Amino acid sequence: MPKAKVTFEDVGVTVTVPAGTRLIEVSEKVGAGITYGCREGECCTCLTKIVAGGEHLTLPSILEAQVLKDNLAPRQHRLACQAQVLCGEIVVAPA
Amino acid sequence: MAVLTPDTPVPHAAARVIARDVHWIGALDPELRRFDLLLDSAHGTTYNAYCVRGSAGVSIVDTVKETFADEFFRRLESVADYDEIRAIVLNHLEPDHSGALPELRRRAPKARLYVSSRAQMMLKGVLHGTAGEFTAVQTGDHLDLGDRRLRFLQTPYLHWPDTQCTYLEGDALLFSGDIFGSHYCDARLFNDAVGSFRAAFEQYYACIMRPFAREVRQALALIEPLPLRLIAPAHGPILRDAPAYYLSRYRELSTPSPATGEHTLLVFYLSAYGNTRRMAEELARAAASDEVRVELIDLDGAAIAPLLERIERADAIACGSPTINGDAVKAVWDLLSSLTCIDVRGKIGAAFGSYGWSGEAVRMIEERLRGLKLRTPLPGVRARLTPGSDELAACRSLGHDLALHLCGRAEHRTIDMASLA
Ligand SMILES: Cc1cc2nc3c(=O)[nH]c(=O)nc-3n(C[C@H](O)[C@H](O)[C@H](O)COP(=O)(O)O)c2cc1C
Ligand code: FES
Ligand SMILES: [Fe+2]
Ligand SMILES: [Fe+2]
């Protein structure tokens, strides 16, 4: 299975993960400061800054794009409970 | 239009002038003793709603709790006709301010609703199909009333994610929503006319605003540059005398104490037989250095309020509890459940504890710390009964590694997802 590497800047950890993993699943396990609320892509609590490698994440769904827009999320920000990693190297930090 | 001058006490159903062509049309709730389950309100509260008249129509700012709708409509009818209303602004969707909205929409079908763009997801849940047409606004957007304009300022989380303030340009009047509010009911309405509401103002900040101190600072950055003659909050006295005082008080309350250059770790523990205490001492000793100040605190019988102030200033907390009946001890939960009253987001947390056979406490505390939005970069340490030398060494290395994280010198780790529990 293809793997990707996700780095959580705030806790200094890089995790090798299988493709398809949602960012929130990993951030919880390493205790990063990316926190979640609803886990359903509605509350925007899990807003995450994509420091690098945004192209290696699944594209935002219509719902995610709407929630990002409603909440005036800056560019290069995603919902950790929605974005899935595909491949390559991704660096993230709490928003 | 039967309108009283600002200083006559308010008989039922009278609107009050608060500025030229601006009326208070809210409701008094003198009996209320507990608000939103978390605030005592010895003096009741008011639900403040306002009516702003411009040359091109009337705008209503906020409504009241549903049970007070009659009072609100009577006051509204004394200053405006429903078909003059062209806009309804909700500064946030909470039912204490949106309760009369469905009925107001029915009575004033020409009015358009203005809410924060962050309100859109919640609108359905609050209004269930009665929301109708609305405009989602952002900071800087305007609502034109002909000869005067309302300007919106987004102030998220003060009190709900969709909280905004609405500023009446020219008149320098801020409809601040819950910000600068107090649960204090006095029909004399203005801050220079009512009784002493200082304690209510302070308590309101402590319960509603304090967890969002950083959002308070962001809101102040938007509000402070505005000329301000009057602040009209959604609860309690209208602040026409020295409104600047209330801004500076919020500034004071939301400003973190100055950084000392030193990092602080608080090590809390509970221990019936001394096992968890032993672990706490070991961890604390290993973490302490010139750069990291460590305080060891026995939670047994400790008062929570002074601890919250210390936690607010600290950079990291470690919580130790034995497992008792499959759980952490109540005093730990009491402490942790109080952390929602302060801003702990992004601080570092860790857990440890002694146990006899099942040892659930450490995991549960870690979960709770994450739920409170702390970072938990280091796995907790458990010791079976009296901690042995390996277990004490694990406590020391937890203390040592916490210190490295605090000083920003933790080694970067690379791990495989499969190795994570
Ligand atoms: C009333 C009582 C209930 C307990 N329940 C549990 C339990 O459910 N699971 C467990 O692992 N240990 C349990 N223990 C064992 C304690 O966790 C163990 O004695 C621990 O070492 C006490 O640590 P302390 O010296 O820091 O108090 C229990 C102990 C007592 C006295
Ligand atoms: S947790 Fe609510 S949007 Fe991701
Ligand atoms: Fe509120
Ligand atoms: Fe309110």
Question: How do residues B67-114 score in pLDDT, each as one tens digit?
Answer: 999 999 999 999 999 999 999 999 999 999 999 999 999 999 999 999
Interface contact B56, partner A, CB < 8 A: no
| Mean local confidence (pLDDT), B162-183 | 97
Q: Is the dihedral of CA B333, B335, B338, B342 positive or negative?
A: negative
Mutation to test the B interface, candidates A25, A71, A92, most B Cβ within 10 Å: A71
* Domain locations along chain A: 3-94
Q: What is the dihedral of CA B269, B208, B347, B418, to 10 degrees?
A: 90
**Mean of the pLDDT values across residues B353-378?**
96
The answer as to whether B414 is a domain residue is no
- Tell me what pLDDT residue B209 has: 96
Ligand nearest to the CA of B162: 3
Confidence of residue A3 (pLDDT cuts 50, 70, 90): very high
Q: Is A74 on the interface with B (CB under 8 A)?
A: no
The reply to whether B201 and B322 lie within a common domain is: no
| pLDDT of B40 | 80
In a domain, B295, yes or no: yes
Rounded to 5°, the CA angle B108-B9-B166 comes to 45
Residue B1 has pLDDT above 60, yes or no: no
Query: Which residues on adjacent β-strands are paired with residue B310?
Result: none
Question: In this structure, are B240 and B301 located in the same domain?
Answer: no
The CA-atom distances, in angstroms, between A92 and each of A7, A52, B177 are: 6, 7, 35
- CATH T-level topology, domain A3-94: Ubiquitin-like (UB roll) (3.10.20)
pLDDT band per the 50, 70, 90 thresholds, residue B130:
low
**Where is average pLDDT lowest: B3-17, B311-325, B327-341, B367-381?**
B3-17
Question: Per-residue pLDDT tens for A49-94?
Answer: 999 999 999 999 999 999 999 999 999 999 999 999 999 999 999 9
Task: Assess whether pLDDT exceeds 70 at residue B58.
Answer: yes
Interval B193-232: pLDDT, tens: 999 999 999 999 999 999 999 999 999 999 999 999 999 9
Dist. CA B139 → ligand 4 center (Å):
21
**Is residue A18 scored above 50 in pLDDT?**
yes
Of ligand 2's listed atoms, the one at least distance from the Cα of A36 is 1
Q: What ipTM, to 2 d.p.?
A: 0.90
pLDDT of residue B133: 82
SS3 (DSSP) at B199: helix
Does one domain contain both B337 and B269? yes
The alpha carbon of A40 and the centre of ligand 3 are apart by a number of angstroms equal to 24
Assess whether B392 and B287 both reside in one domain: yes
Distance from CA of B351 to the nearest CA of A (A): 12
Are residues B159 and B294 located together in one domain of the fold?
no
Q: Is the CB of A46 under 6 A from ligand 2?
A: yes
Q: Is residue B7 part of a domain?
A: no
Ligand 2 atom having least distance to the Cα of A44: 3
Q: How many CB pairs under 8 A join A and B?
A: 79
| CATH classification of the domain holding B199 | 3.60.15.10
Of the partner residues B120, B377, B411, the one whose CB lies closest to the CB of residue A31: B377
Instruction: Output the average pLDDT for chain B.
Output: 93
Alpha-helix runs per DSSP H in B314-386: 330-338, 361-371
Residues, Cβ < 5 Å to ion ligand 3: B 94, 159, 178
The crossing angle, in degrees rounded to 10, of helices A62-70 and B120-127 is 90
**Closest partner CB to B370 (pick from A31, A70, A71):** A31
When divided into structural domains, chain B yields a total of: 2
Considering B209, B230, B254, which residue would you say is the last residue of a domain? B254
Q: Is B181's pLDDT higher than 60?
A: yes
H/E stretch holding A68 reads helix A62-70
CA B124-A37-B408 angle, to 5 degrees, is 145
Q: How far apart are CA B400 and CA B394, in angstroms?
A: 10
- Burial class of B31 by CB neighbour count within 10 A (0 to 12, 13 to 18, 19+): exposed
User: How far is C-alpha B31 from the geometric centre of its chain's CA atoms?
Assistant: 24
Mean pLDDT calculated for residue range B338-366: 96
Residue B412 domain flag = no
CA distance B287 to chain A (A): 18
The answer as to whether B6 is a domain residue is: no
Q: Residue B3 domain-assigned? A: no
Contact B276, B390 (CB under 8 A): no
Same domain, B153 and B288: no
Three-state DSSP class for residue B35: strand
CA distance A42 to A82: 10
CATH number at residue B317: 3.40.50.360
Do B329 and B346 lie in one domain? The reply is yes
Token digits of residue B80: 């405006």
- Residue B11's pLDDT band, with cuts at 50, 70 and 90, is low
| Ligand 1 pocket by Cβ (under 6 Å) | B 271-276, 322-326, 354-359, 385
**Do B278 and B180 share a structural domain?**
no
- B273 CA: nearest ligand 1 atom: 25
Centre a 10 Å sphere on the Cβ of residue B229 and count the other Cβ atoms it contains.
12
Angle at B124 between CA B120 and CA B126, to 5 degrees: 100
Q: Does one domain contain both B229 and B137?
A: yes
The reply to whether B239 and B286 lie within a common domain is: no
pLDDT at B2: 44
The Cα of B379 is separated from the nearest Cα of chain A by a number of Å equal to: 9
Q: How many residues are listed for chain A in this entry? A: 95
pLDDT exceeds cutoff 60 at B3: no
Measure the CA–CA gap between B174 and B71, rounded to whole angstroms: 23
Same domain, B175 and B212: yes
Q: How far apart are CA B319 and CA B364, in angstroms?
A: 11
Residues B268 and B237 in one domain: no
In short, whether A83's Cβ falls inside 6 Å of ligand 2 is no
Q: Please, are residues B294 and B288 in contact by the beta-carbon 8 Å criterion?
A: yes
Amino acid at B89: V
Of B28-42, B247-261, B386-400, the range with the lowest mean pLDDT is B28-42
Residue nearest to atom 17 of ligand 1 (CA): B355
Interface check A84 vs B, CB under 8 A: no
> What range does the domain containing B101 cover?
16-254
> What kind and span of H or E run contains B77?
helix B69-77
